[in-house]
């Protein structure tokens, strides 16, 4: 903390010495600042390999900070009580991008090198009696500089984190609204998104669920989601949108398994996984299905958590999702109309007969084994088994929608 016990203690020590003697010592130290600044730059070039690799402008910024630190130390040495904030202010001479040029570890090396240089050089620049006093003051001052450097980097990290959170929310919102373009891809890349995770797969899926309680904190949840996704080998973009939490996963070929590990970050209620798409530019398809699935999920209380959006096709179609209606009609009803249409007639009669194979056989004047064979073919073609209650519901809705969209038998069109 600036103005801490160390600085206050040194102020009392100054007060106990002769004022004129201390002022004379401070004046001699002031006259040596030019030589100290030159020696500091030379020490950085000699002892810090990374310093010489920086651009001329960046080296100039760092040199300015070092010179500012030496000047600030002299002012503080002269009057510690009046200049107690000098350790923090010394970093104010560098632009904000300074924290992006060198890391905190490099800053510590820079401060250490400068202090060692001063301790080794003041013996040649000041009288022998001044050296112990200046060295003791430098040790006290160095501690405050270390705290100041940590503060500068902490503030920069907070600002960068807040900016990244806003940028991430903008990217997720663009995906949801179907405005993903090259600029969105570029912004996602700036957030560390590669789209392939560690699995090498470029598959992308969007997951939507209720937001966690306010006590959990949206920033903490987003960080935890990204960490958990990385542990699973995926990239993740996360954003709160009102009362829902949206996660865009990249590099996942098994989204259900991964989302099961992320389920604890969502609030109570359904979690819907959109279909897998090739890349971020196509993610609007997955997002649209996931959002529609979240809206329709209450109609299926027994739905698994998480549930895939395609498992909610009948509920989505009943809730007004035109994409789900067309998908059921094209993927389920359409294939059953091909050929002579016997599969469509068989499954329709089977559903109308309450799921009885014998009743279906009697109604169609065919053998029960023929019914079984045709129903098996229906399951192979559509992916829905008529004998399964949930699948039979999906088939009934698909047949109804197909007839509405294509009323003429044998005239199915997309």
pLDDT tens-digit readout, 24-63? 888 888 888 888 888 888 888 888 888 878 888 878 777 7
Structure tokens that stand for 88 in this block: 């923090």
User: To the nearest whole percent, how much of the chain has pLDDT over 90?
Assistant: 34
Phi-psi region of 345 (alpha: psi -120 to 50; beta: other; left: phi over 0): alpha
306 preceded by a cis bond (ω within 30 of 0): yes
Residue 36 confidence (pLDDT): 82
pLDDT in tens, 74-107: 887 877 766 555 455 555 545 455 556 677 677 7
Average pLDDT of the residues of the chain: 80
Torsions phi, psi for 102 (to 5 deg): -125, 150
Residue 91 in any domain: the answer is yes
**In this predicted structure, what is the pLDDT of residue 82?**
64
Q: Which of 222, 220, 226 is nearest to 169 (CA)?
A: 222
With respect to residue 175, please indicate whether it lies within any of the assigned structural domains.
no
Q: Do residues 351 and 277 share a domain?
A: no
pLDDT for 234-246, tens place per residue? 888 888 888 899 9
The answer to whether residues 224 and 368 belong to one domain is no
Q: Name the nearest CA neighbour of 401 among 343, 315, 341.
A: 315
Cα dihedral across residues 133, 136, 139, 143: positive or negative: negative
Tally DSSP H helices, then E strands, for the chain.
19, 5
292 is in which domain, residue-wise? Answer: 195-311
Q: Give the separation between CA 378 and CA 376, rounded to whole angstroms.
A: 5
Question: Is 156's pLDDT higher than 60?
Answer: no
pLDDT band at 282, cuts 50/70/90? Answer: confident
Task: Say whether both 363 and 334 belong to one domain.
Answer: yes
User: Are both 263 and 332 inside the same structural domain?
Assistant: no
- The answer for residues whose C-beta is within 8 angstroms of residue 180's C-beta and 6 or more apart is 174, 280, 281, 282, 283, 284
Q: Is the residue at 331 inside a domain?
A: yes
pLDDT band at 397 (very low <50, low <70, confident <90, very high): very high
Residue predicted with more confidence, 159 or 208: 208
Q: Is residue 146 part of a domain?
A: yes
Task: Say which residue the tokens 């399964």 belong to.
Answer: 388
pLDDT of residue 228: 87
Tell whether 306 and 388 lie within a shared domain.
no
According to DSSP, the residues that pair with 247 across neighbouring strands are 207, 238
Strand (E) positions, 63-153? none
Considering its fold, how many domains does the chain have in total? 3
Looking from the CA of 364 toward its CB, the CA atoms found within 13 Å total: 26
Give the per-residue pLDDT at 294: 95
Question: Can you tell me which residue has the tokens 């698909």?
Answer: 398
Q: Which two tokens stand for residue 238?
A: 């996360």
Look at 21 and 371; give whichever has higher pLDDT. Answer: 371
Query: Which pair of tokens denotes residue 142?
Result: 């160095």
pLDDT of 214:
66
- State whether 261 and 355 are in the same domain: no
Please say if the pLDDT value at position 197 is more than 80: no
Question: Residue 153 pLDDT more than 90?
Answer: no
DSSP-assigned letters across all residues of 127-175: -TTHHHHHHHHHHHHHHHHHHHHHHHHHHHHHHHHHHHHHHHHHHHHHH
Is the pLDDT assigned to residue 116 strictly greater than 90? no
Pairing of strands 204-210, 271-273: antiparallel
Cα distance between residue 98 and residue 65, in whole Å: 10
Same domain as 246, residue 338: no
Strand partners, 209: 245, 271
pLDDT of residue 90: 53
Domain co-membership, 45 together with 146: yes
pLDDT: is 209 or 282 the higher one? 209
pLDDT of residue 72: 78
Q: What is the CATH number of the domain that holds 288?
A: 3.30.70.2730
pLDDT of 408 reads 57
Asked if residue 250 has pLDDT above 70, the reply is yes
Buried b (16+ CB within 10 A) or exposed e, 271-289: bbbbbbbeebeebbbbbbb
Q: Are residues 13 and 114 in the same domain?
A: yes
pLDDT digits (tens, 9 = 90+) for 289-317: 999 999 999 999 999 999 999 999 999 99
Report if residue 277 sits inside a domain.
Answer: yes
Residue 104 lies in a domain: yes
**Does residue 393 contact residue 327 with C-beta atoms inside 8 Å?**
no
**pLDDT band at residue 2 using 50, 70 and 90 as cut-offs:** very low
Quick one: 34 exposed, middle or buried, by C-beta within 10 A (0-12, 13-18, 19+)?
A: exposed
């Amino acid at each position: 903390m600036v103005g801490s016990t160390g600085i206050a203690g040194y102020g009392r020590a100054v007060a106990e010495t002769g004022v004129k003697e201390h002022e004379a010592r401070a004046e001699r130290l002031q006259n040596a600042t030019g030589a100290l600044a030159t020696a500091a730059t030379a020490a950085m070039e000699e002892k810090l390999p990374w310093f010489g690799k920086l651009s001329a402008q960046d080296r100039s910024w760092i040199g300015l900070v070092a010179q500012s630190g030496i000047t600030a130390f002299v002012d503080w040495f002269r009057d510690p009580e009046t200049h107690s904030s000098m350790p923090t202010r010394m970093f104010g001479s560098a632009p904000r991008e300074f924290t992006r040029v060198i890391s905190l570890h490099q800053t510590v090396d820079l401060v250490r090198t400068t202090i060692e240089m001063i301790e080794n050089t003041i013996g040649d620049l000041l009288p022998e009696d001044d050296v112990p006093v200046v060295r003791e003051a430098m040790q006290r001052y160095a501690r405050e500089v270390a705290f100041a450097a940590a503060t500068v980097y902490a503030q920069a990290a907070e600002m960068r984190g807040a900016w990244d959170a806003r940028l991430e929310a903008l990217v997720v919102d663009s995906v949801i609204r179907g405005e993903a373009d090259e600029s969105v891809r570029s912004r996602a890349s700036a957030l560390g998104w590669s789209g392939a995770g560690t699995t090498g797969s470029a598959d992308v899926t969007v997951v939507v669920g209720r937001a966690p309680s306010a006590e959990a904190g949206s920033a903490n949840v987003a960080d935890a989601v990204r960490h958990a996704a990385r542990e699973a080998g995926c990239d993740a973009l996360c954003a709160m949108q009102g009362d829902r939490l949206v996660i865009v996963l990249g590099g996942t070929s098994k989204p259900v398994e991964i989302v099961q590990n992320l389920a604890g970050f969502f609030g109570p209620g359904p979690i819907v996984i959109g279909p897998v798409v090739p890349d971020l530019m196509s993610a609007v398809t997955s997002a649209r299905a996931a959002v529609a699935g979240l809206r329709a999920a209450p109609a299926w209380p027994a739905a698994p958590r998480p549930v895939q959006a395609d498992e909610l096709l009948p509920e989505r179609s009943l809730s007004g999702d035109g994409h789900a209606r067309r998908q059921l009609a094209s993927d389920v009803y359409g294939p059953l109309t091909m050929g002579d249409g016997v599969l469509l007639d068989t499954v329709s009669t089977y559903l109308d007969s309450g799921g009885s194979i014998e009743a279906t056989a009697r109604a169609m004047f065919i053998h029960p084994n023929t019914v079984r064979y045709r129903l098996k073919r229906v399951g192979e073609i559509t992916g829905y088994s008529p004998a399964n209650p949930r699948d039979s519901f999906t088939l009934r809705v698909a047949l109804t929608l197909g007839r509405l969209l294509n009323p003429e038998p044998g005239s199915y069109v997309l």
